[in-house]
Amino acid sequence: MFVKEAILYHLEMPLKEPFKTSYGEMSSKSLCILKLTSSDGIEGYGELDAFSTPWYTEETTDTAAMIVQAHLLPLIRNVNLQTADQVNHIFKVIRGNEMAKSVIETAIWDIFSKSEKQSLSTYLGGVTGDISVGVSIGIQSSLDELVDTVQNYINEGYTRVKLKIKPGYDIEPVKKIRKLFPELLLMVDANSAYCRDDIQTLKKLDQYNLAMIEQPFGVTDFVDHAWLQKQIQTPICLDENIRSLNDVKQAFELRSAKAINIKIARVGGLDEALKILNFCYENGLIAWCGGMFEAGIGRAHNIALASRSELSFPGDISASNRYFSRDIILDEFTIKNGKITTPVGFGIGVELDKFSLETYCKRREVIILD
Ligand code: OSB
Ligand code: MG
């Protein structure tokens, strides 16, 4: 299979409500949709999930789009691809830039699963059916607002709640939510806002029966996370630290974490994500599927991955309407009884809503690879 043509759509999608983390506030998501056409005329889709500001990783939507065009697409030009997992290997000559790699790699998995006339979840070894999902809740302006927000998502059916925290907004919100919802599968995500000096606060958080504490320390702090994990019972989950299988091995050897948030975009695509998933399963690390405010295409890739039975902990995979008033796919993802149903169509199993795509599209580039 050869890739003959690539179209990159640059979108700006306003969020229904601004989302606040320890990094700052976001009110809209900039992303790209990549459409690849194969020599057999099969169309595969990928989503470029970076952000407009490089606070989560070094990449931004614009820098990643540039890397896609200038450095990555040329590497698969005139290459006869035999399997989807080949792409990860081909891209190894480019350092980092995982989000840029992921948008192409995931589109190629879509093409291969379509050519095998299978859903992507089946192709990845997943089980089709319903998957349990969770929701990530940004920092709220008051505790009352937080309680209402959590209650609303529970009413909608979400079975796991993740609260964003930062120094000064941690013990109180957790205490309040734990008191009101004693049985709730609850966790927190610090987006690397703490350091060793905050040990007393982190020890207090350890007392609220949290499912995990996500990324308390800096993004390369494997040693400091190991220091912390020795002193608390709550599993530490690494997010920003994990860019590859090697990072997971390092975390495992050092005992920096007991859980891994797998984001397809952050690890450079589905092949690396599957390798991480296998490693976690074999070594007793909890693995689950994270999110990056994906639109419908990225969400479909996440759902296909999350359909693997090893990812039983509910991921950050909300319904389409959690972030956007209108998604870019025809059959939006909805939540029923706390679950999202994996699509059964070939490949990612969702179809672009061309009208909706147009309304969000700022510009497009057509790249011929002949
Ligand atoms: O840390 O997991 C994170 C969103 C953007 C960047 C980083 C993170 C998040 C989320 C939301 O927590 C996940 C989602 O619902 O898509
Ligand atoms: Mg996180």
Residues 101-141 pLDDT 10s:
999 999 999 999 999 999 999 999 999 889 999 999 999 99
Tell me, yes or no, whether 346 lies in a domain: no
**In terms of residue numbers, what domain contains 244?**
122-341
Closest CA to 299 of 35, 11, 45: 45
Q: Are residues 285 and 270 in the same domain?
A: yes
Would the annotation count 214 as a binding residue? yes
Mean pLDDT within 304-324: 95
Tell me, yes or no, whether 182 lies in a domain: yes
**Tokens 């695509």, residue located:** 269
Q: Are residues 113 and 133 in the same domain?
A: no
- Which residue's alpha carbon is nearest to atom 14 within ligand 1? 291
Q: How many whole angstroms separate alpha carbon 174 and alpha carbon 320?
A: 27
Q: Are residues 199 and 68 in the same domain?
A: no
CA 211 to chain centre: 19
Residues with CB under 5 A from ligand 2 (ion): 189, 214, 239
**Tokens 């990860």, residue located:** 88
Q: How many whole angstroms separate alpha carbon 323 and alpha carbon 264?
A: 19
Q: How many whole angstroms separate alpha carbon 162 and alpha carbon 36?
A: 35
Mean pLDDT within 341-345: 95
Q: Are residues 82 and 129 in the same domain?
A: no
Closest CA to 6 of 124, 105, 86, 120: 105
Q: Are residues 221 and 309 in the same domain?
A: yes
Does an H or E element contain 106, and which? helix 98-115
User: Is 292's C-beta closer than 6 angstroms to any atom of ligand 1?
Assistant: yes
Active site residue 336: no
State the amino acid at position 170 in one-letter form.
Answer: D
Q: Are residues 142 and 103 in the same domain?
A: no
Would the annotation count 189 as a binding residue? yes
**Tokens 């000559």, residue located:** 93
User: Is 44's C-beta closer than 6 angstroms to any atom of ligand 1?
Assistant: no
Closest CA to 237 of 204, 217, 264, 213: 213
Confidence of residue 301 (pLDDT cuts 50, 70, 90): very high
Q: Are residues 165 and 193 in the same domain?
A: yes
Tokens of 51: 């952000």
Give, for ligand 1, the residue of 28, 293, 303 to mutate: max count of ligand atoms closer than 8 Å to Cβ: 293
Q: Which of 164, 166, 203, 258 is catalytic?
A: 164
pLDDT at position 69 over 90:
yes
CA of 274 to the centre of ligand 1 (A): 20
| Contact (Cβ atoms closer than 8 angstroms) between residue 176 and residue 148 | no
Tell me how many domains the chain contains.
Answer: 2
| Contact (Cβ atoms closer than 8 angstroms) between residue 369 and residue 76 | yes
pLDDT at position 181 over 90:
yes
| Contact (Cβ atoms closer than 8 angstroms) between residue 308 and residue 281 | no
Tokens of 142: 């008051």
| Contact (Cβ atoms closer than 8 angstroms) between residue 68 and residue 100 | yes
pLDDT at position 370 over 90:
no
Q: Which of 20, 35, 101, 263 is catalytic?
A: 263
Q: Are residues 280 and 296 in the same domain?
A: yes
Q: What is the pLDDT of residues 255-294, one digit of tens each?
A: 999 999 999 999 999 999 999 999 999 999 999 999 999 9
DSSP 12: E
Q: How many whole angstroms separate alpha carbon 32 and alpha carbon 295?
A: 10
Tokens of 319: 């319904």
DSSP 278-304: HHHHHHT-EEEE---S--HHHHHHHHH
pLDDT at position 303 over 90:
yes
Q: How many whole angstroms separate alpha carbon 4 and alpha carbon 37?
A: 6
* DSSP reduced 3-state for 125: coil
Tell me, yes or no, whether 10 lies in a domain: yes
Q: Where are the alpha helices (DSSP H) in 181-238?
A: 199-205, 222-229
Give, for ligand 1, the residue of 15, 17, 20, 21 to mutate: max count of ligand atoms closer than 8 Å to Cβ: 21
Task: Look up the pTM and report it.
Answer: 0.97
Q: How many whole angstroms separate alpha carbon 346 and alpha carbon 190?
A: 38
Mean pLDDT within 306-315: 95
User: Is 56's C-beta closer than 6 angstroms to any atom of ligand 1?
Assistant: yes
- pLDDT for 203 equals 98
User: Is 316's C-beta closer than 6 angstroms to any atom of ligand 1?
Assistant: yes
Confidence of residue 312 (pLDDT cuts 50, 70, 90): confident
CA of 368 to the centre of ligand 1 (A): 34
Length of the chain: 370
Would the annotation count 116 as a binding residue? no
Q: How many whole angstroms separate alpha carbon 21 and alpha carbon 164?
A: 6
Q: Are residues 226 and 177 in the same domain?
A: yes
Q: Are residues 128 and 95 in the same domain?
A: no
**Counting beta carbons within 10 angstroms of the beta carbon of residue 368, is it exposed (0 to 12), middle (13 to 18) or buried (19 or more)?**
exposed
Mean pLDDT within 207-227: 98
CA Rg value for the chain? 20
Confidence of residue 168 (pLDDT cuts 50, 70, 90): very high
CA of 188 to the centre of ligand 2 (A): 9
Q: Are residues 52 and 80 in the same domain?
A: yes
DSSP 348: T
Closest CA to 212 of 131, 127, 136, 300: 136
Active site residue 29: no
User: Is 318's C-beta closer than 6 angstroms to any atom of ligand 1?
Assistant: yes
